[in-house]
Amino acid sequence: MTTTYEPRAVRRLTFHDSVADFRTGADTPVKYLERCLARIAEREPLVKAFVAANLDAAMARAEGATKRYRDGAPLSPVDGLPIAVKDVFETRDLPTGWGSTALAKQPPRQDAAIVHALRKGGGVLVGKTALPELGFGPPAATTNPWDPGRSPGGSSSGSAAAVAAAMVPAAIGSQGRGSLTRPASFCGVTAFKPGHGTVHRGGYGGSQPTNAHVGVLAGCLEDAWIIARALGESAGPHPGHAALKGPMEPPEPAKPRTLVRTEAAGWERTEPAARAAYDDLLTRIESAGVGVMRAGDDPAWAALEGELAAAGKALGTIADYETRWPLTMLVEADVESGGGAFDPLTVERGLERLAVPLADYEAALAYRRDYRERLAALAQDGVFMITPGATGPAPAGLSSTGSSVYQWASSLAGNPVVSLPLMAADGLPLGLEVQGFVGQDAALMAAGLWLARSFQAGEI
C-alpha cells in the first residue's frame, strides 16, 4: 500500500534528543531498542532492509549502555545508539557478503574501522543492511517504505529503507557514485556524506579507494553529524587524509549566503513534478533572504556546470577501474572456475570493469585533479551548491535504482554533501542536495541545519 508523503508531517526516529532521558532514567537504551525491535518485527517482512542480524547481542549491548547511563558514565555521544551497517563493512560477529549469498557464507573475520569505533563508543549494532550484489549487480529485494512497489535506490538501499521505516534511527552507508544521497532522496531521510577520506574506510573491502565515502543516513541532521563526528574522532581519517573537523555536537545553524543551482544536464532528465517541487522550494528559500543563483549566470560556475557529463564519465572510469580489486577479480575467478556464484548481470558488469584501460584511468585521474582545483577556487564563505537529490521520486519496480546524475559532481570532487528530505513529488519523497567544499564539513552542516529547521518551522 502506498502512503502519501508529506515532508513536514513525517515524524522520523531520532536519537540525540533521547540522551537526556537516558541520563535521568525517564527512558533507557534498552527500552529504546525494544521499540526499534518491535518496529523491525512489524516492517521488515515487507521492507526487507536487513541481510543479517544478532538481536540478542544488540540487547546485551543496550543493557550495558543502560547501566552506564545509570552510573553517569556513558562512553560517547553514540552510547546506546541502535544502528545498522551496510553489508560492505566487515563485522567480526556477522558475515559480510557485499550483497552476495556466496560471499556471505564465508566466516566473519574482523571489524571495519568504523564498526570498531561504534562498538568502542557503546553503539548497538542491530544488523547488516542490503545492497545490490557486489554493489553493481541486480538490486536487492529491499522495497521503498513509502511504496513497496518502488525502489529504495542504491547501493545503500537497505540502510536508507531501515531508517525510513523507523526501524533504527541511523544506518551507515557508502557512496562511490550516488549510493548514499540518492537512496536518501527516494526514501525521505537525511544523509551526510563527509568529505572524502575524513572517516576511515578500513574494512570496507578495498573497492574504489580514491572514490568511496563513508556516510550516515539518519532521521535528522543532528544525529548524522554526531555519528559521523564520533566515527571520525574514534576511527580517525583514512591514512593520508585530513580528519573530519568541527565540534562534537552539531554546529549552530547558519543561514547560507548564496545557493548555486548546478543542475546542468541533470535538469533535462528531471521529471516535471520534481522540477516544480524544486523551483517552489527555492522560491521560498529566496524569500527567506538567501541568495539563489544559477550557475549559468557566472562564467566560472557555468564552465564547471557545463562539464557535468564529462565529470560523470571520469567518475565512472575511476569507479570501474578501482573496482578491479577485489570485487571484479572475484567475478573473474568465479567465471574461470565454472561460474555460478554470481548473477549473470553481476558477471557481465564485473567483466566490463576489468576491461577499462589503464590509459583511460590515468586520464580520468588527471581530469579529476583539474576539476577539483577549479572547483576549490570558487569556494567562498556561505556559498554552497544545490541540486535536487534525484531526477524524480523513486522509480517504479525494483529492477532499477535510479539515475545518479545529481551525485556525479560531488562524488568526483570528494566534497561533503547533505541530503535533506524537504520536498515531495507525486506524493513521494524528494531530497534537496546541498554540497559544500573540501575541509568545510562543519560549515555545510551549519547551513543544512538552518535549512532543515527553517523548513520544519514553516519559515521556508
Assess contact for 114 and 189: CB atoms under 8 A.
no
User: Exactly one of 18, 100, 151, 179 is catalytic; which is it?
Assistant: 179
User: Exactly one of 48, 86, 128, 193 is catalytic; which is it?
Assistant: 86
- Residue 155 is a catalytic residue: yes
Cα angle 315, 133, 131 (rounded to 5 degrees) comes to 80
User: Exactly one of 155, 185, 410, 454 is catalytic; which is it?
Assistant: 155
β-pair type (170-175, 213-218): antiparallel
**Inter-CA distances, 186 with 147, 198, 394, 448, Å:** 10, 26, 5, 18
Cα atoms in the 13 Å half-sphere on the side-chain side of 117:
24
Number of Cβ within a 10 Å radius of residue 258: 15
Site of grid cell 565529470? 311
- Residue 179 is a catalytic residue: yes
- Residue 174 is a catalytic residue: no
Sorted by sequence, the CB contacts under 8 Å of residue 337 that are 6+ apart come out as none
Burial 89-121 (b: 16+ CB within 10 A, else e): bbbeebbbbbbbeebbeeeeeebbbbbbbbbeb
Q: Which residues are tagged catalytic? A: 86, 155, 179
